[in-house]
Structure 1
Amino acid sequence: MDMNQYLSMFIDESNDHLQSLNESMMGLEANPEDISIVQVIFRSAHTLKGMAATMGFEDLASLTHQMENVLDLVRNNKLRMQDFIFDTLFKSLDALESMVQDITAGGDGKADVSAIVSALQAIVRGEVPSAGTAAAASEAPVAAGDAPILLDEFQFSVLEQSILEGHQVMYVDVAIRKDCQLKAVRAYMVFDLLERSGEVVKSFPSVQDIEQEKFDYGFSLYYITQKEASEIQAMIMNLSEIEKVSAVALDQESLKQLGQDTVAATAEAPPEAPEAAASAVSVAAKAAAPAEAPKASAAPARTGGAPSRTIRVDIERLDVLMNLFSELLIDRVRLEQLASEVQNGDLTETVEHMSRVSGDLQNIVMKLRMVPVDTVFNRFPRMIRDLAKSLDKKVDLVVTGAETEMDRTVIDEIGDPLVHLLRNAVDHGIESIPDRIAAGKPEMGTVYLRAFHSGNHVFIEIEEDGVGINSEKVLQSAVKKGVITSEQAAGMSDEEAHQLLFAPGFSTAEVISDVSGRGVGLDVVKAKITSLGGNVTIYSTPGKGTNFSVQLPLTLSIIAAMLVRIGSEKYAIPLSSIVETGIVKQNQIRTIHGNKMIEFRNAHIPLLSLSKLFSVPDYDESTEEETEIVVVRKGERLVALAVQDFIGQNEIVIKNLGKYLPEVQGISGATILGDGQVALIIDPNAFIK
């Protein structure tokens, strides 16, 4: 039976169940005694196991089966939920998610989950470590030499088979220098180098612990390759900050001896594997989760109630529909123009009716592309839970406005910037528990994630009741790093100081943490949001907290724009950026430090000539007594653009400039007008630095 036809359905359904499992587990962690939540989790896990087994993904099915065994004991009141059990189940969900991602990318969904399976089996046998032991296991860094690498039967047989087939099997021990700042990065470079010439079968500590720097400057691994041990040693020693490397080639006898030792160690100390599995879940892995997570309401709908009246539509089909409608919109504008020239009553009436119908059609097409922001938001509670746990803080995430809708293209891009902002809020905004108590605050910090519509924009706010931004500290750090001079710092307001956080590579963090310093990644956030036509503003009160407000356009495909003429050329300026239009006389234009300025609302703003910027040959506004201007904004900053004539307001379809044209400064795309002429769309953000 060909299962490929059901693969896309399996992936969608699996993502639904995994999202439901994550959310239900979060609910259970808040109410560990609520057996009804356990029933929902059990049903989702059982359905996922059945689907995986039917599709032939055995690793996925067997891991889910082990989870079921634990959940079955809980729902029958034979086992009480503890922190260690929650951590292990969450780690299982992460493994399931990575398997489904592998299947989505065309893989076979296989993964080494032996440590998690061992931990789940130990829980079923009742070998749950005490809270103190589990905490010690997750917090204390592990030295590579403290314990042997535990091989299961499958891994042992893989290594044995590799020796029989003529491959080199090695036991590699790596020590990183003690003064290394980013040991996890250095370890990653070693793994990356080894993966190019062979395959790492098992490492100690685990890859997840190494990612989170939960190891003491050394690690060991079993490795299969065609290269000699001396070559491997030399390759690794060529990397900087590596202190010592030992690579020992194993034969069948030495492998068997080593294998018997590790199997004996496993038999004598069964809690060893569960303790290793008790480490905190990798937050970085969650941050990389896809933004296109399914709606949370979809999975519970299957467990009872009315069936869902929705269908899944391929994203590419929606894009095709949008492109076809764009062409229709261009033809509609052209017909309206022709009807006004011909002055035929019947034609005018028909065109007007067509305009109304296509207007309704446009609304429907736009709504089809609108997606609730909860498709991005629903992965954050789990991320905040893991992050707070790893930082030993108590954080409550309060989400409002998750039903707010945005264009899918914006939704796809906004996930990563929000991850950066939330991680900064928890890491550097929310204080540690002792600091909060000393400041007279509750030990549980609160992060608010809000989304709401305002005009033609969506606002997403991330606010916390933490320590706030210390403007003095920001300015001192900026001067020290050479971002600004001492003289510039002296004249800066708090708002201007806050904007320095977005400078590339800027950070006030005294120690680089594995989460991020305030500012590390914020330049990326700013660049991404600006590229989407939005902006980000910071409001902060020292001691009270900080608010990052992100303003984004509702859609990126069809926008309302003001059409202007400059000589023989036409340009479109997005209405969302325009403050107002007006006329200035030549005697109102002043020159300050070589720049033209005009007075606007009791302030002076720059005046830019579009004809000079774009080298329009047949127009020069300096020869005219009066000049039409368009005042545009970017955040709080304003600039006036000089144009020749206003043509009028119109809805335009954004077309990109294609691969052949280089990126033109000040131009964000093009549109086709009713008369077939191409008008370039101006990007007002480019004129305001």
Structure 2
Amino acid sequence: MDTTQYLDVFIDESKEHIEVLYKKLLELEKSPSEKAIIEEIFRAAHTLKGMSATMGYSDLATLTHTLENVFDAIRYDRVQVQTEMVDLLVETVDQLNSMVEDIANGGSGTRNIADVVNKLERMETGTSAQNASSSKGKQVSDSVTSTNVIRTLDEFELSILNESQERGFSNYEVTVQLREDCLLKGARVFMVFEVLEQLGEVIKSEPSVTELEDENFEHSFTVILVSNRPETEISEKIKKVSEIETVNVHEFSVSNYLETKEQVVQRSSVPANPDDKQVNPTPDEREVGKNAQQKTIRVNIEKLDVLMNLFEELIIDRGRLEQISIDLRNADLQDTVERMSRVSSDLQNIILMMRMVPIDHVFSRFPRMVRKLARDLNKQVDIEIIGADTELDRTVIDEIGDPIVHLLRNAIDHGIETPEERVRKGKPEKGTIKLEAFHSGNHVFIEISDDGAGINKDKVLKKALSNGLLTDREAEGLTDQQIYELIMESGFSTADKISDISGRGVGLDVVKNTIESLGGNIAIDSAVDKGSVFSVQLPLTLTIISVLLVELNKEKYAIPLSSIIETAIISKEQLLSAHHKKVIDFRGKVVPLVNLKDIFGVEAPEVEEAYTSVVIVKKGDKLAALIVDSFIGQQEVVLKSLGAYMSNTFAISGATILGDGEVALIIDSNAIIK
């Protein structure tokens, strides 16, 4: 069967199941006896195994099958979850993730999994063997006492098993594991069945006999055998067949089977709300339910990108039509353009919503990273995630992951103290990092806070002075927040020693540059021995933005509204000087004046004007007043890249095509203030 057409769906769904495995394993570590968590992990592993086998990725299917076996043993209490087990289980999921990534990159997904498979098999059978010896008071080679594996028996099969017990026979459940390098699986199964028929009567097999003959199974199968022979003899005779890895034999309990079946029926029949009544749905209701399941479809992100590009062209043409309708002053044309504007605005909202994805796509990988890093540093750290359902544009989501990783690593390494140090300070041994996301206007805020040591303001200032980042005079006027922001300067580090995690002076400056390149900003607040808060502000989307159009000597420029505080027209008398630079007094603050003509090299005759038009822009708590010739007005524009050849143009983040066909450059006010 040609499965290439399903590859994209396989990769997407595999990644979803792997995320579930990661998330639930961390929950399992905190609640090892929670059956609901164990069931979810088992289901995710079982589904991933089936998908992998269907697509022909045998290594992925084998490893997932082994993981599934472990959780089958856990959910039926043959194995008890312990903290040290979680490390191996997380390592296994890491292997699965690497294999899926290899497939996504065009590889075959093959990997040397022998070592981790052996570890998982020892985890599955080692503890089970101990349980068997303690419960039965005897050692049985390659056998376990457990809850039944086979759980689908009809009335006829049950009656045979009950009758055999009454006649003094034993009912056994026999699980045979073939070696992974077994070539003729069907032949080995036939030889095993020949042995079993000499020892007793086979009542049931899973997979079915037909599937076993067709080799439509992986490497293991289970049968129910009625026999008067002891377990050890059954096990030893089966193991004489070549290419057999393991043989597990234990008594099959009909009462356990019936009890388990009854519990499953009860769980499936109990309403979510005890007060709810069970009512059989009408045919119409069943049809509604059927339709409800078909309300979502998977769409390749590349198709959404194409749709977005087409819509951007529509926005440009809309602006052109608006300009034409104004010039012609035709009433019918103006009505049509207004209606087109309303419809396209609704269409814009829908397309942007389609591109929105929950930030949980990024957040979900952080708990395991925090767990591993904390263990490497011999620290105890909990991470609390709030607002993971907050949505961001896919383009922003793709870029924000690495900056948050840097901030989390910084919080664990520099912020959270060792357990001994926390106890000396009167804190709990375990530190807490809070990762929170929330909407505010047209922005999303991401806050990374910790209850660690905080930032030593004096140490930061001393290091900045010694590095020549500022002078003693400049240091005197800095606020606490401005001092904290010095740690994001290039090459800045207060670490006493260099490690693999931090101390090389790289990381936070990259964080700052990446966030600013996305049109956002970052602010820091801290208190010694109380902790630190890094607050990241990001735009909801990067493609269609609201701008203020301004004019410089008949050239049009656009300034993003997200950076603007207000516009003003100031008189010549309001211009002041400080440190040989022109400034203005803006609501009690001294704000430097920046002439955009000087920055962009716009040639214009010197004309003495009585009034000057300025745009007050901000970056964090810093302000600047940009001098322009005139204001044109507010407009929604499509942000277009300048391309690779002009990627380093100072203070220009892109360009847009206006309604009259002119190109307007989009000003990066963050770069100007910096």
Distance in 1 (alpha carbons) for counterparts of 2:53 and 2:313: 46
The runs of 5 or more residues in structure 1 that have no matched partner are: 131-152, 156-303
The CA deviation at 1:77 is 0.7
* Structure 1 residue ranges (4+ consecutive) displaced by more than 6 angstroms after TM superposition: none
Deviations 1:191-219 (A, max 9, x none): xxxxxxxxxxxxxxxxxxxxxxxxxxxxx
Contact 1:458 1:553 in 2 (8 A): yes
Alignment-derived partner of residue 46 in structure 2:
46
Contact 2:491 2:504 in 1 (8 A): no
The CA deviation at 1:35 is 2.2
Alignment-derived partner of residue 122 in structure 2:
122
Deviations 1:357-379 (A, max 9, x none): 11111111111122221111111
Alignment-derived partner of residue 366 in structure 2:
380
The letter of the residue matching 1:600 is F
Alignment-derived partner of residue 353 in structure 2:
367
Alignment-derived partner of residue 663 in structure 2:
678
- Could you tell which deviates more after superposition, 98-107 or 473-482? 473-482
TM-score normalised by the chain length of structure 1: 0.72
Match of 2:447 among 450, 461, 465: 461
The CA deviation at 1:511 is 1.9
Distance in 1 (alpha carbons) for counterparts of 2:432 and 2:291: 34
Match of 1:407 among 393, 404, 428: 393
Distance in 1 (alpha carbons) for counterparts of 2:551 and 2:407: 41
With over 3 angstroms needed to count, the CA separation of the structure-2 counterparts of 1:352 and 1:489, relative to structure 1, is closer
The CA deviation at 1:619 is 5.0
SS of alignment partner, residue 125 of structure 1: helix
Please tell me whether Structure 1 or Structure 2 has the larger radius of gyration of its CA atoms. Answer: 2
Contact 1:376 1:411 in 2 (8 A): yes
Match of 1:626 among 590, 596, 611: 611
Alignment-derived partner of residue 237 in structure 1:
none
The letter of the residue matching 1:31 is S
The CA deviation at 1:486 is 5.5
Residue 545 of structure 2 is aligned to residue 555 of structure 1:
no
The CA deviation at 1:397 is 1.4
Contact 1:583 1:628 in 2 (8 A): yes
Residue 65 of structure 2 is aligned to residue 65 of structure 1:
yes
Alignment-derived partner of residue 242 in structure 1:
none
Distance in 1 (alpha carbons) for counterparts of 2:566 and 2:479: 27
Question: Which has the bigger relative contact order, CA under 8 A and spacing at least 6?
Answer: 1
The letter of the residue matching 1:73 is A
Match of 1:635 among 620, 626, 630: 620
The CA deviation at 1:636 is 0.7
Alignment-derived partner of residue 644 in structure 2:
659
Deviations 1:443-494 (A, max 9, x none): 2211111111122211100011111111122223334444445565565443
Contact 2:576 2:584 in 1 (8 A): yes
Alignment-derived partner of residue 605 in structure 1:
591
Contact 1:428 1:518 in 2 (8 A): no
The CA deviation at 1:305 is 13
Distance in 2 (alpha carbons) for counterparts of 1:635 and 1:491: 17
Alignment-derived partner of residue 634 in structure 2:
649
- Give the root-mean-square deviation of aligned CA atoms: 2.4
The letter of the residue matching 1:406 is L
Match of 1:352 among 338, 343, 347: 338
Match of 1:595 among 558, 576, 581: 581
Deviations 1:393-415 (A, max 9, x none): 22221111112111111111000
With over 3 angstroms needed to count, the CA separation of the structure-2 counterparts of 1:381 and 1:552, relative to structure 1, is same
Alignment-derived partner of residue 13 in structure 1:
13
Distance in 2 (alpha carbons) for counterparts of 1:305 and 1:360: 26
Deviations 1:614-642 (A, max 9, x none): 2222454x521111111111111111111
Contact 1:508 1:518 in 2 (8 A): no
The CA deviation at 1:660 is 3.5
With over 3 angstroms needed to count, the CA separation of the structure-2 counterparts of 1:479 and 1:597, relative to structure 1, is closer
Contact 2:549 2:633 in 1 (8 A): yes
The CA deviation at 1:549 is 0.4
With over 3 angstroms needed to count, the CA separation of the structure-2 counterparts of 1:346 and 1:489, relative to structure 1, is closer
Match of 1:447 among 396, 417, 433: 433
Deviations 1:511-567 (A, max 9, x none): 223322495411111111111111111000111110000011111111111111111
Alignment-derived partner of residue 600 in structure 2:
614
Contact 2:650 2:671 in 1 (8 A): yes
The letter of the residue matching 2:13 is E
SS of alignment partner, residue 384 of structure 2: strand
TM-score normalised by the chain length of structure 2: 0.73
- Could you tell which deviates more after superposition, 506-515 or 372-381? 506-515
Alignment-derived partner of residue 264 in structure 1:
none
Match of 2:567 among 581, 586, 590: 581
SS of alignment partner, residue 623 of structure 1: coil
Residue 299 of structure 2 is aligned to residue 313 of structure 1:
yes
Contact 1:568 1:618 in 2 (8 A): no
Distance in 2 (alpha carbons) for counterparts of 1:385 and 1:20: 16
Alignment-derived partner of residue 102 in structure 1:
102
With over 3 angstroms needed to count, the CA separation of the structure-2 counterparts of 1:619 and 1:671, relative to structure 1, is farther
- How many residues get paired? 518
Aligned ranges 1:464-613 → 2 under 5 Å: 464-485=450-471, 488-489=474-475, 492-517=478-503, 520-613=506-599
The letter of the residue matching 1:90 is V
SS of alignment partner, residue 649 of structure 1: strand
Residue 673 of structure 2 is aligned to residue 688 of structure 1:
yes
Alignment-derived partner of residue 4 in structure 2:
4
With over 3 angstroms needed to count, the CA separation of the structure-2 counterparts of 1:627 and 1:416, relative to structure 1, is same
Alignment-derived partner of residue 285 in structure 1:
none
Distance in 2 (alpha carbons) for counterparts of 1:615 and 1:27: 59
Deviations 1:27-49 (A, max 9, x none): 21111111232122112111111
Alignment-derived partner of residue 76 in structure 2:
76
The letter of the residue matching 1:657 is L
Contact 2:78 2:127 in 1 (8 A): no
Residue 403 of structure 2 is aligned to residue 417 of structure 1:
yes
SS of alignment partner, residue 2 of structure 2: coil
With over 3 angstroms needed to count, the CA separation of the structure-2 counterparts of 1:417 and 1:91, relative to structure 1, is same
Distance in 1 (alpha carbons) for counterparts of 2:117 and 2:558: 60
Distance in 2 (alpha carbons) for counterparts of 1:30 and 1:43: 20
With over 3 angstroms needed to count, the CA separation of the structure-2 counterparts of 1:314 and 1:579, relative to structure 1, is same
With over 3 angstroms needed to count, the CA separation of the structure-2 counterparts of 1:495 and 1:548, relative to structure 1, is same
Distance in 2 (alpha carbons) for counterparts of 1:490 and 1:344: 63
With over 3 angstroms needed to count, the CA separation of the structure-2 counterparts of 1:487 and 1:646, relative to structure 1, is closer
Distance in 2 (alpha carbons) for counterparts of 1:416 and 1:612: 36
Contact 1:566 1:619 in 2 (8 A): no
The CA deviation at 1:418 is 0.3
Deviations 1:417-445 (A, max 9, x none): 00111111122211111111221112221
Residue 377 of structure 2 is aligned to residue 391 of structure 1:
yes
